[in-house]
Structure 1
Amino acid sequence: MPVDTPLDAHPAPTRTGPNATQAITPALLVTLALLSAVAPFATDLYLPAFPAMVADLDTSATAVQLTLTAFLLGLAVGQLLFGPLSDRYGRVRPMLAGAAVCVLASAATVFAPNVEVLIGARFAQGVAGAAGMVIGRAIIADLATGKAAARAFSLMMIVGGVAPVIAPLAGGFLVGPIGWRGALAVILVLSTLMLLAVLLVVRETHTEHRRAALRESRSTLGSPLRDLLGRAYLGHALAFCGAFATMMAYISASPFIYQTMMGLSAGQYGAMFGVNALALLAMSALSARLASRVEVRRVAAVGVASISIATVVLLALSLSGVPAGWLALPLLVIVGSMGLVFGNVTALALGAAPRAAGTASAVLGALQFGVAAAVSPLVSIAGEHTAVPAAIVMLCTSTLAVAAYLVAGRPGRSVPEATR
């Protein structure tokens, strides 16, 4: 497929104005997906090296763990920073600034002389790396709405969704031969490629003409803050966060469920994790195909409902005392159904705030990581030999997703642009 061929021969109507002739090309989509994949690589690639880092840096395990915490905190802060900046100054300049700083911070992590410098560099790396994640979503929201946007987000998730699967496996193979500094050097290379991709592929989608038109619209439609506080945006954003928190609860609990409870080896656990990840990618591909035929909200509703029902089954099985192997089936359904939710609900949320897509993307990302960080420690609160706490957490977060989704789509509200 040529790089300048639009993804959809019959896309939903794109936004009018100076961007009307632009299309979401495969080159752009792959670039944006790779920008969002830097975070999971930077998170997972060096995890197997934690014990070696304790010895090499002459520090404690807690201090090494802080290098990961600092990065995740930086991601949350960076999204809140770069999203509003991209609404005010356009998409490309803040994205280039973030990519450049990310390269410098990545270099600092490789050559950090002590753990304190490493923690600071990782925080800066997270802040800067967040630019690609938050602005990438805003760029898609600039160029497409409705079914076309939902399809683009689903396809982007297929490309970017491979990273969380590959990163832990690659880290296990790389840390031995090249060490933890070598693993961080790989992240430096990826950050450099990210900067080059932005320079070569990404073009401005939030032009001065468009920004002026949006400023003019405020005089008749009010502040964009009304969009962000509206039921459509908040409902879909919280639905996304509930689903993502369910996913993070699964990820946090999966080593205990598969290895401790089911008795699987590390290799078998990796295989099971990979099967679930493939289910997620397959359902994301199905969602992209359905986007041109089926209403976006209907596809997302099926995904949200499937997740909720599967969490009920998971809790029932956890309480019943059946062999732990039975838990694998509802977990497969939960993870796979995320493919029907993430891309579609993201499109619905950002489509409900078209005048502040960067800020809307930032709030969505900050909520995503904030809620996920809050629920992850709860899954093993009763120890590693029971799945009941994890099942309860996943039922609560999936219930949040269902309730928020219903509120967003309650009859009688005005229909946002993304659903038309």
Structure 2
Amino acid sequence: MAVSSSSSTTGELDAGKAPPSAAPPEPTGLQRLRVILVLGALVALAPLTIDLYLPALPDIGEDLGATSSAVQLTLTGTLLGLGLGQLLIGPLSDTVGRRFPLIAGTGLHIAASLLCLVAPNIAVLGALRVVQGVGAAAAMVVALAVVRDLFSGRAAATTLSRLMLVMGAAPILAPSLGSAVLLTGTWRAVFAALAALGTVLLLVAVLALRETLPPERRRAGEVRPVLRTYGSLLTDRDFVIMVLVASLGMSALFSYVSGASFVLQEQYGLDQQQFGLVFGAGAIAVIGASQLNVVVLNHITPRRTVLFALVAAAVMGVVLTAVAFTGAGGLVGFMIPLWLMLFAVGFVMPNAPALALSAHGEAAGTAAALLGAGQFGLGALIAPLVGLLGNDGPAMALTMTGGAFVALALLAVSLLSGRRARRAAAPA
């Protein structure tokens, strides 16, 4: 597989041109709207699996006799499952098509959700959450691969922005829905709700999603070609950098998700319903940015948008850290820079993945798998840092800000390397 250079990848996407391996004509009009609605329903499964039980974290610890750090590891297990699942399901979807892995993975998610209902201790619950994450990974990686099957260039970034609306709306609804479930049942009822959600999405997958990868575009199913494809992707410097940038942007969101229930409920004294409302406001910031991104892309290239967004996130992170350590402004003083930081991250989340996937249409499932594994795998590593550092405002602020600065540094390296390469290639 030929791997594009950093400069060619940037040029193709920023100019809005389809790469050589682009799929057939892109859906338009009502057909495009239908595709986005179906994919939006599918990508909702992962964030709802992550967020629906957040208000119940303190109750889980009390009921199972576990520490807050141990309970947070069940969230880490979900992120780990989402990352590992995509590494397996991505290449499989390039080999057998998109529908079968999606249907099988969603079925696995339903089974794991039902088993969580009877988990006797925190260790079993954590293991089942890993399995649940693997199942949810199918919907995530297949949705991204379908976007790359059907769209390219700015159209791909725009479509991903629309999907970010769902990924942003899900965290808004999830804690509130979880709180509503807790009013009528225990934390175990949350997993019954997830099983029901998985069943609905399984029906959507079976009835509403056509196969987007025809047999002639599928790849060999042997292990060695798959490993070669992974190796080729990992030697594409621009792809690796954009995966890391996308992953660090997502890790900022996961740091917020991991620590929010403890920071807002235990440090600032919010009850479960208040937590759902305040937590959801952060998701509104992500939604607003992802939808504004569609307009911004008409004037600024995706790569520059990511650069400006990371600069803003780093600046807001410094302010957030200062407020967290000093306590200035109380809850309002803490949430304003946090919301602004999440707003900036909302521009990174659709554009960095689109840049990463732009030159790899011939292996969209495998590329999407590496992207998803990086996002959720790094999230699984970084999110527990909030608990290890103290499960308080300063811990959350430091973790989020550190990720923003590292992502900015990586993008700066990519931009400088690309400029040097273009200068070297230019005629004297």
Task: Confirm or deny a common fold (TM above 0.5).
Answer: yes
2:347 corresponds in structure 1 to 340
Identity %: 35
* 1:207 maps to which of 204, 214, 217: 214
Q: Please say if residues 230 and 366 of structure 2, whose CA atoms lie closer than 8 Å, have aligned partners that are also in contact.
A: no
* 2:372 maps to which of 336, 360, 365: 365
Structure 1's 114 and 147: CA in aligned 2 closer, same or farther, altered over 3 A? same
1:405 corresponds in structure 2 to 411
Structure 1's 268 and 65: CA in aligned 2 closer, same or farther, altered over 3 A? closer
5+ residue gaps, structure 1, are: 1-10, 415-420
* 2:302 maps to which of 282, 288, 296: 296
Instruction: Name which of structure 1's ranges 134-143 and 25-34 shifts more when overlaid on structure 2.
Output: 25-34
Matched to 2:24, the amino acid is: A
* 1:191 maps to which of 186, 190, 198: 198
Matched to 1:411, the amino acid is: R
- Alignment partner of 1:182 is 2:186: no
What are the within-5 Å matches in structure 2 for residues 387-406 of structure 1? 387-406=393-412
Structure 1's 207 and 104: CA in aligned 2 closer, same or farther, altered over 3 A? same
Structure 1's 64 and 306: CA in aligned 2 closer, same or farther, altered over 3 A? closer
CA displacement, residues 59-92 of structure 1 (integer Å, 9 cap, x when unaligned): 5436877655543332222111101111222222
Distance 1:327 1:52 in 2: 25
* 1:146 maps to which of 149, 153, 170: 153
Could you state the TM-score of these two structures normalised by the residue count of structure 1? 0.81
Distance 1:370 1:169 in 2: 26
Structure 1's 317 and 206: CA in aligned 2 closer, same or farther, altered over 3 A? same
1:6 corresponds in structure 2 to none
Matched to 1:377, the amino acid is: P
What are the within-5 Å matches in structure 2 for residues 240-389 of structure 1? 240-255=246-261, 258=264, 267-318=273-324, 322-324=328-330, 325-379=332-386, 381=388, 383=390, 387-389=393-395
CA displacement, residues 168-205 of structure 1 (integer Å, 9 cap, x when unaligned): 11111112324444332221221111111112222222
1:21 corresponds in structure 2 to 25
1:61 corresponds in structure 2 to 66
Matched to 2:301, the amino acid is: E
Distance 1:340 1:282 in 2: 9
User: 1:228, CA displacement in angstroms?
Assistant: 3.3
Identify the structure with bigger relative contact order (alpha carbons < 8 Å, sequence gap 6+): 2
Structure 1's 287 and 127: CA in aligned 2 closer, same or farther, altered over 3 A? same
Instruction: Name which of structure 1's ranges 120-129 and 398-407 shifts more when overlaid on structure 2.
Output: 120-129
Structure 1's 177 and 279: CA in aligned 2 closer, same or farther, altered over 3 A? same
Matched to 2:193, the amino acid is: V
Could you state the TM-score of these two structures normalised by the residue count of structure 2? 0.80
Structure 1's 255 and 113: CA in aligned 2 closer, same or farther, altered over 3 A? closer
Distance 2:246 2:62 in 1: 40
* 2:218 alignment partner, SS class: helix
Q: Please say if residues 25 and 150 of structure 2, whose CA atoms lie closer than 8 Å, have aligned partners that are also in contact.
A: no
User: 1:137, CA displacement in angstroms?
Assistant: 0.8
CA displacement, residues 301-339 of structure 1 (integer Å, 9 cap, x when unaligned): 221111112112223444566444433332121011122
Distance 2:119 2:323 in 1: 50
CA displacement, residues 108-164 of structure 1 (integer Å, 9 cap, x when unaligned): 444x47457765544333212211111211111121122101001111010222111
2:175 corresponds in structure 1 to 168
Instruction: Name which of structure 1's ranges 32-41 and 245-254 shifts more when overlaid on structure 2.
Output: 245-254
1:417 corresponds in structure 2 to none
Structure 1's 392 and 196: CA in aligned 2 closer, same or farther, altered over 3 A? same
User: 1:248, CA displacement in angstroms?
Assistant: 2.4
User: 1:348, CA displacement in angstroms?
Assistant: 0.4
Distance 1:50 1:309 in 2: 31
Q: Please say if residues 44 and 164 of structure 1, whose CA atoms lie closer than 8 Å, have aligned partners that are also in contact.
A: yes
What are the within-5 Å matches in structure 2 for residues 99-178 of structure 1? 99-110=106-117, 112=118, 114-115=120-121, 121-178=128-185
Q: Please say if residues 224 and 353 of structure 1, whose CA atoms lie closer than 8 Å, have aligned partners that are also in contact.
A: no
Structure 1's 72 and 411: CA in aligned 2 closer, same or farther, altered over 3 A? same
Q: Please say if residues 146 and 296 of structure 1, whose CA atoms lie closer than 8 Å, have aligned partners that are also in contact.
A: no
Distance 1:261 1:60 in 2: 21
Distance 1:165 1:341 in 2: 19
Q: Please say if residues 84 and 377 of structure 2, whose CA atoms lie closer than 8 Å, have aligned partners that are also in contact.
A: no
Matched to 1:291, the amino acid is: L
Structure 1's 327 and 177: CA in aligned 2 closer, same or farther, altered over 3 A? closer
